[in-house]
Amino acid sequence: MTIRRSAPARQPSLREHNLALVLGEVAAAGAVSRARIAAATGLTKATVSTLVDALVAAGLLRELGPSAAVGVGRPGSSLTLASGPVGIGLEVNVDYLATCTVDLNGTVRRREVVAQDFRRVAPAVALNRAAAALRAAVQDARAAGGVVGGVTVAVPGLVETARGLVRLAPNLGWRDVALPDELLDRVGPDVRPALAGVPLRVGNEADLAALAELWNGDHRRADGRPLDSFVHVSGEIGVGAAIVIGGQLFGGVRGFGGELGHLPLAPDGPLCGCGSRGCLEQYAGQDAILRRAGLEATAGTSIGRPGGSVEDLIARAEAGEEQVLAAVRAAGEALGAGIAAMVNLVDVDTVLLGGLYALLAPWLLEPVQDQVARRVLASRWDATRVLVGRLGADGAVRGAATSVVRAVIDDPAAWIAAAALESIAADVVDPDGAPSAGRQ
């Protein structure tokens, strides 16, 4: 019998833990006094004051001024999150390029979406355009007095997040793209220093869209508590899914999970871009729906964006065109069968539909729910809920941006160390001599 030794109990770095504890308390409460932080965390008031001073100095917390508290003693000054370092999300998708900048509170400060067709261009062209979009976002953040806390890039593909490597993005035609390096190379010497000391991460777009719904979707469980376990299925050109259990992304061993689009639904079905036949994507992907509806996929087709075929599809569905409704219904049945298979494998009680599927929900939801109710074994005693995501097509880029500031809030000590390095780098290299604006 193989038994693994467990490690002896050891103290985690107490200061790191407590910095995160204090910052997390303010983030959860919105505005709160030192005394209340001490009461909520169990730390002494002296410890709280020391930690608060460090967080204020790092530009993560700010004073709101004396509170109007009634009672004896010195009135406590209230603390709130500073607008702090901003998180930049960049999404390189098959038919659009999006950027999103959020402040430390997760509030969106800037958003930009440009229709692009990356299906027939060389990876270098897509990378150049992505770098230009990132460059603009960084320049705007700095012009507004912000410090970049990090960048996360969402891509529709299989990503080794730890290595920052896109192993495969079939609909982009990418293989083994080291995305952070490629973007840093292209972003320009004036902008590069602002990104040198901070984390540049890459994530799967379905994963990040799922996290956005977790963090910003305000979904509830059947008992009213915040929803923290679900499968999120997002329709785009491909079909991606992500599993969230207990507020954490479940990514399997290497983080490549959630490839729902390549579930085989019929052995003799249409050929898929992955080389197999009858994949779900060929029945429920955006191009398959457009084709069956009698519409051609056109450039500028981007979901949820003005113009293009998807807007046309929705307008025709609203007008009750039978071929369009039949196409969406057929996609819903295939999608529902695929979702049911996934739920039977990973066991969640709630499914969120995102991306294109959120837009098509008025016609798609019922066939999906029918299939799920019929095919999920646990549905017989515990109904599987199928809900519509709230962030539409913006989920992935919003989740990418928010993941940056969540990482800062979860580990402010790491941010403080990185910011110190970045400050030195910016002072040395920045050619226009701008001070590291907005950092206190």
Site for a copy of itself in 45-104 (CB under 8 A): none
CB of residue 277 vs a copy of itself: minimum separation in angstroms?
Answer: 10
Q: What residue type is 201 in one-letter code?
A: R
Count of C-beta atoms within a 10 Å radius of residue 368: 27
When the beta carbons of 194 and 279 are compared against a copy of itself, the nearer one is 279
Q: Within positions 199 to 218, which residues make up the interface with a copy of itself, using CB under 8 A?
A: 214-216, 218
Distance CA 341, CA 260 (A): 10
Residue closer to a copy of itself by CB (options 189, 224) is 224
Measured from the CB atom, is 115 or 346 closer to a copy of itself?
346
Window contacting a copy of itself (CB under 8 A); options: 59-67, 123-131, 195-203, 253-261: 253-261
Restricting to residues 369-408, which ones interact with a copy of itself according to CB under 8 A? 374-375, 377-378, 380-382, 402
Contact between 187 and 198 under an 8 Å Cβ cutoff? The reply is no
d(CA 149, CA 267): 48
Any bridge partners for residue 352, and if so which? Answer: 232, 387
Binding flag, residue 195, a copy of itself (CB under 8 A): no
Question: Does 271 engage in binding with a copy of itself (CB under 8 A)?
Answer: no
| CB 62, min distance to a copy of itself, A | 17
Cβ–Cβ < 8 Å for 232, 357: no
Residue choice 97, 131, 183, 263 for contact with a copy of itself (CB under 8 A): 263
User: What is the C-alpha to C-alpha distance for residues 227 and 392, in angstroms, rounded to an integer?
Assistant: 18
Work out whether 224 is an interface residue with a copy of itself (CB under 8 A): no
User: Could you tell me which residues come within 8 angstroms of residue 432 by beta carbon, excluding any fewer than 6 positions away?
Assistant: 190
Shortest Å distance, C-beta 204 to a copy of itself: 11
User: Torsion angle of alpha carbons 325, 330, 331, 335, nearest 10°?
Assistant: 140
Instruction: Provide, rounded to whole angstroms, the least separation between the CB of residue 183 and a copy of itself.
Output: 22
Between 251 and 304, whose beta carbon lies closer to a copy of itself? 251
Residues 21-40 that bind a copy of itself (CB under 8 A): 21, 24-25, 27-28, 40
The SS3 call for residue 415 is: helix
Report whether 121 contacts 99 (CB < 8 A).
no
Q: Which of 127, 164, 23, 38 is nearest to 81 (CA)?
A: 23
Cα separations in angstroms, 238 against 58, 164, 292, 400:
42, 22, 16, 19
Closest approach, Cβ 208 to a copy of itself, in A, equals 15
273 binds a copy of itself (CB under 8 A): no
- CA distance linking residue 164 with residue 99, whole number of Å: 18
Strand order in the sheet with 108-115: 108-115, 96-102, 85-92, 147-155, 200-204
Binding residue for a copy of itself (CB under 8 A) from 111, 129, 167, 292? 167
Question: Of 108, 214, 212, whose CA–CA distance to 154 is shortest?
Answer: 212
In angstroms, the Cα distances linking 175 to 26, 180, 276 are: 42, 15, 18
Residue 162 binds a copy of itself (CB under 8 A):
no
Interface with a copy of itself, residue 128, by CB under 8 A: no
Q: Which of 251, 300, 304, 392 binds a copy of itself (CB under 8 A)?
A: 251
Helix (H, G, I), strand (E, B) or coil at 338: helix
**Pick from 47, 67, 80, 105: which binds a copy of itself (CB under 8 A)?**
105
CB of 115 to a copy of itself, least distance (A): 27
CA angle 236, 237, 238 (to 5 degrees): 85
Q: How far apart are CA 362 and CA 320, in angstroms?
A: 12
We find the least distance from the C-beta atom of residue 288 to a copy of itself, in angstroms, to be 15
Tokens standing for residue 289? 């729906």
Nearest to 150 by CA among 394, 414, 428: 414
Q: Does 259 bind a copy of itself (CB under 8 A)?
A: yes
Work out which of 36, 109, 135, 262 binds a copy of itself, going by CB under 8 A.
262
> Minimum distance between the CB of residue 206 and a copy of itself, rounded to whole angstroms?
11
User: Under rule CB under 8 A, how many of the chain's residues touch a copy of itself?
Assistant: 79
List strand residue ranges (DSSP E) for 268-345, in order.
none
Q: How far is the CB of 131 from a copy of itself (least distance, A)?
A: 25
The distance of closest approach from Cβ of residue 124 to a copy of itself in the complex, given in angstroms and rounded to an integer, is 21
CB of residue 2 to a copy of itself, shortest distance in Å: 6
| CB nearer to a copy of itself: pick between 256 and 300 | 256
When the beta carbons of 104 and 419 are compared against a copy of itself, the nearer one is 104
Site for a copy of itself in 319-358 (CB under 8 A): 337, 340-342, 344-349
